[in-house]
Amino acid sequence: MHVTANSEPSTVDLADSATHRRLLISVCSIGLQEKTRRIRRPRRRALICGIAGIAGDDASKKTLVKMLDTMKHRGHDDVGTHVDHRIALGCDRLAIVDIKGGHQPASNEDGTVWAVLNGEIYNHRKLRTELQQKSHRFNSLSDTEVLAHAYEEWGERLFSHLNGMFALAIWDGNKKTLLIARDRVGIKPLYYFRSGGTLAFSSEAKAILRADLTSSLTVNRSAVTQLLEVGYFLAPMSMFEEIQLLPPASFLCYDSGAVSTGTYWEPPAYVDYPPSIEAVRNTLRESVASQTETSDVPVAAFLSGGLDTSTVAAFATRVRPEGLRTFCMGFGEQTDEFNDARLVAEAFGTEHHELLVDASQAMKFYPQMIWHSEMPKVNLYSWFVNEAASKFGKVCMSGLGGDELFCGYPTSSRFKRARQASSLMKLPFTKKLASVAGTFPLRKTKYAEALTDETLAYSTILTGFPPSEIDPAIRSQVKQYFAGTSDFVQGIVRCEFHTKLPYDYLLVEDAMSMAHTLEVRVPLLDDRLLELMLGVPSRYQMTDNVGKLLLRQAMTGILPERCFTKPKWGFSVDIYSWWKNAVRDYAEKYIPESEVLKELGGKWHQKLVEVMRQPLDPSRTRWYAMGWTMLGLELWHRIFVDGDGKEPTLSW
């Protein structure tokens, strides 16, 4: 395939406490090892699932097996295929629900409908009962078989019946049609490729590359630009123009070479009142409980000591009789949350583990992180906490989504700037003065133009660059989220639910967990919570300095008081510290003379090299983040364009 650019082992220090363990990681190779004795645990080389398929003349078992082999890290408990005329469906499976009987692909009674699933359908037991009452007969207790019967009963309307995280595919043997779809938020990814009368899909883009269905692919320039300027995608896309990412809450139907798409869910409209605190508390409890219960294997949880992860841990411990293991990650920085997480772990009696990651050694794994993420990214360090949790089980709960649902960013720098911009734009003559100020030859006046338009203001806040230097496509793609609202901050909340959440946080979490035999669930994005909270205006959720007002009230008396007063940090790193101590050495070696980066990085490559030649300055953190991304772009190109697309070794 030709691709063109369009123009020492890890160490563990276990404390004596039965509920608190410190995992002090020296990241030189994969695996955890105790200082005084080896931990011998069976290594499950299996993940939740990887699905793939081909419809059309190119459908074959040989090609399907190559695709599945590329994603074998996603599931080794079972591998299954269904191949018939013009269709090939397959799955690498991690057995979590109906371990013995949940083979995929699964079919209905007469084998006319076949389904594969990456994810979990949390209400599958209820749906099975309902379908049995409609005379459907089942051969297993798996949620995938429920999908086959649900489609048989309801057709494309089945999505309104599902509560879960999923990427799925259903083949209708009678109609000879293929239906693929993703969950409402986009927790599980699903990529697809069209060429002539052929449609190929998979959980990872690299599996489509392995199928060799085309002789050439084109590097997606828009994707590169957005990663450099924003740090993530603002729309469903991949690093190749020909490989698409199916949007959340969407489906695609293939019928004899023709393709049609649709959306089956939209967030609820805003209402002028908040839900009761009792409703918030009960829905939280039910959402966490159902996702914690839907597992035939032990469940763990990430824990930072903040509101989101502590809420998940609090309700999860109530429904797992074997107890809960919790994991917290730090980087030896002032923002580490070990003390706060430990306090919550002690309050709920979890078996707690702390993971300390050294930046300089962690960067040695960056090529593998890029291979699994399939894009140049900075925030891939959750690799290590996912690896640590995977040593003890298959399922881990995350607090992802809490900020987007409960408005948890009022003190973040971008929301502070957004409120300032919103206030300024409301002043008389601001827009006229701003449009003139942009013509003055002063650096800061270049930013003034942003006050002429809300989407321009947000694009400037998002990138950190003046409007004249921002790719116009960025403004175009965020514009839709500010239409019809007079509340600038509310528009940002909705925009980031549709962009940063699915195309940054959730994509990264899927990739980093899938790399380490771990299914990560996000109960704060349960469908019941989406319906309850997404229509609540931000004015009921946050003040200028405090966010998550409804969540705080709902969890009062349940969580330790410290959860309500601790500063917000999350699993993040100090970009300047990592650049200074780890990333810069690699960047200076690879970035300046790279012909690939000169071509794909455009104007940003030259400007970045100029910044790199200057003394270190913490005020240039935005540039260092771009340099980190550009370093990832060099690695990505070497792996997927210049190389054979196979997983790289530890060596750079």
Query: What is the separation, in whole angstroms, between the first and last Cα of the chain?
Result: 23
Q: In Å, how far are 56, 409, 410, 417, 419 from 413, measured between CA atoms?
A: 50, 9, 8, 6, 10
Residue 361 has phi, psi (to 5 degrees) of -80, -30
What band does 41 get if pLDDT is binned at 50, 70 and 90? Answer: very low
What band does 628 get if pLDDT is binned at 50, 70 and 90? Answer: very high
Q: For residue 436, is pLDDT > 60?
A: no
Strands 519-521 and 395-397: parallel
Tokens of 637: 């190109």
Other Cβ atoms less than 10 A from the Cβ of 473: the count is 16
Name the most confidently modeled range: 433-442, 565-574, 615-624. 615-624
| CATH 1.10.10.10 for domain 277-407+516-565 | no
Whole-angstrom distance, CA of residue 85 vs CA of residue 63 = 14
Q: For residue 442, is pLDDT > 50?
A: no
Maximum Cα–Cα distance across the chain = 75
Whole-angstrom distance, CA of residue 521 vs CA of residue 301 = 9
Cβ neighbors of 288 (< 8 A, separation 6 or more) are: 311, 312, 315, 316, 319, 397, 523, 526
Q: List, as own/partner pairs, every contact residues 265-271 make where C-beta atoms lie below 8 angstroms and the sequence separation is at least 24, other chains included.
A: 265/159, 265/160, 265/184, 267/494, 267/497, 267/530, 267/534, 267/535, 268/530, 268/531, 268/534, 268/535, 269/535, 270/490, 270/535, 270/536, 270/537, 271/535, 271/536, 271/537
What band does 433 get if pLDDT is binned at 50, 70 and 90? Answer: low
Q: For residue 619, is pLDDT > 80?
A: yes
Task: Return the domain boundaries, the chain.
Answer: 49-263, 277-407+516-565, 575-642
Whole-angstrom distance, CA of residue 617 vs CA of residue 619 = 5
Encode pLDDT of 45-98 as tens digits: 333 589 999 999 999 999 999 999 999 888 766 688 999 989 999 997 554 544
Q: What is the pLDDT of residue 46?
A: 31
Whole-angstrom distance, CA of residue 601 vs CA of residue 157 = 44
Q: What is the pLDDT of residue 454?
A: 84
Whole-angstrom distance, CA of residue 500 vs CA of residue 522 = 15
Q: pTM of the entire structure?
A: 0.90
Encode pLDDT of 510-546 as tens digits: 999 999 889 999 999 999 999 999 999 989 999 878 9
Q: For residue 652, is pLDDT > 70?
A: yes
Q: For residue 291, is pLDDT > 80?
A: yes
Q: In Å, how far are 410, 453, 547 from 537, measured between CA atoms?
A: 14, 22, 12
Burial of residue 633 (CB within 10 Å: 0-12, 13-18, 19+) is: buried
Encode pLDDT of 109-121 as tens digits: 999 999 999 999 9
Lowest-confidence range among 48-62, 214-228, 594-608, 618-632? 48-62
Q: What is the pLDDT of residue 19?
A: 41
What proportions of the chain, in percent to the nearest 5, are helix, strand and coil? 45, 15, 40
Question: How confident is the model over 620-631, as a mean pLDDT?
Answer: 97
Mean pLDDT of all residues belonging to the chain? 87
Q: For residue 268, is pLDDT > 90?
A: yes
Tokens of 509: 């979490």
Question: How confident is the model over 121-137, as a mean pLDDT?
Answer: 96
Pick the CATH number of 49-263 from 3.40.640.10, 3.10.20.30, 3.60.20.10, 3.90.1150.10: 3.60.20.10
Whole-angstrom distance, CA of residue 13 vs CA of residue 561 = 30
> 623: part of which helix (H) or strand (E)?
helix 621-637
Using only C-alpha atoms, the chain has a radius of gyration, in whole angstroms, of 24
Whole-number percent of the chain with pLDDT over 90: 69
Question: How confident is the model over 538-560, as a mean pLDDT?
Answer: 94
Unique residue bearing structure tokens 């494309």: 156
Q: What is the pLDDT of residue 437?
A: 58
49-263 and 277-407+516-565: same fold?
A: no
Other Cβ atoms less than 10 A from the Cβ of 61: the count is 13
258: helix, strand or coil: strand
CA quadruple 67, 69, 75, 76: dihedral sign: positive
Q: For residue 316, is pLDDT > 50?
A: yes
Unique residue bearing structure tokens 């005379």: 135
Tokens of 428: 């008389």
Encode pLDDT of 238-265 as tens digits: 999 999 999 999 999 999 999 999 999 9
Residue in 523, 513, 531 with CA at minimum distance from that of residue 249: 531
Residue 369 has phi, psi (to 5 degrees) of -60, -40
Whole-angstrom distance, CA of residue 294 vs CA of residue 526 = 13
Whole-number percent of the chain with pLDDT over 70: 86
Question: How confident is the model over 99-128, as a mean pLDDT?
Answer: 89
SS (H, E, C) 97-129: CCCCCCCCCEECCCCCEEEEEEEEECCHHHHHH
Whole-angstrom distance, CA of residue 398 vs CA of residue 327 = 10
Whole-angstrom distance, CA of residue 529 vs CA of residue 179 = 27
Q: For residue 122, is pLDDT > 90?
A: yes
Q: In what order do the strands lie in the sheet with 78-84?
A: 78-84, 87-93, 49-55, 198-202, 191-195, 243-245
Q: What is the pLDDT of residue 294?
A: 77
Q: For residue 439, is pLDDT > 90?
A: no
Lowest-confidence range among 44-53, 487-496, 501-510, 519-528? 44-53
Q: For residue 567, is pLDDT > 50?
A: yes
What band does 570 get if pLDDT is binned at 50, 70 and 90? Answer: low
Q: What is the pLDDT of residue 13?
A: 32
Q: For residue 337, is pLDDT > 70?
A: yes
276 in Cβ contact with 536 (< 8 Å): no
> 356: part of which helix (H) or strand (E)?
strand 351-356
Better pLDDT: 415 or 234: 234
Lowest-confidence range among 94-98, 345-349, 413-417? 94-98
> 80: part of which helix (H) or strand (E)?
strand 78-84
Q: What is the DSSP track for 318-337?
A: TT-TT--EEEEEE-SSTT--
Question: How confident is the model over 145-168, as a mean pLDDT?
Answer: 97
What band does 38 get if pLDDT is binned at 50, 70 and 90? Answer: very low
SS (H, E, C) 433-492: HHHHHCCCCCCHHHHHHHHHCHHHHHHHHHHCCCHHHCCHHHHHHHHHHHCCCCCHHHHH
Better pLDDT: 548 or 49: 548
Residue in 105, 526, 466 with CA at minimum distance from that of residue 290: 526
CA quadruple 20, 286, 500, 508: dihedral sign: positive
Q: What is the pLDDT of residue 429?
A: 58
Q: What is the pLDDT of residue 78?
A: 67
Q: What is the pLDDT of residue 428?
A: 66
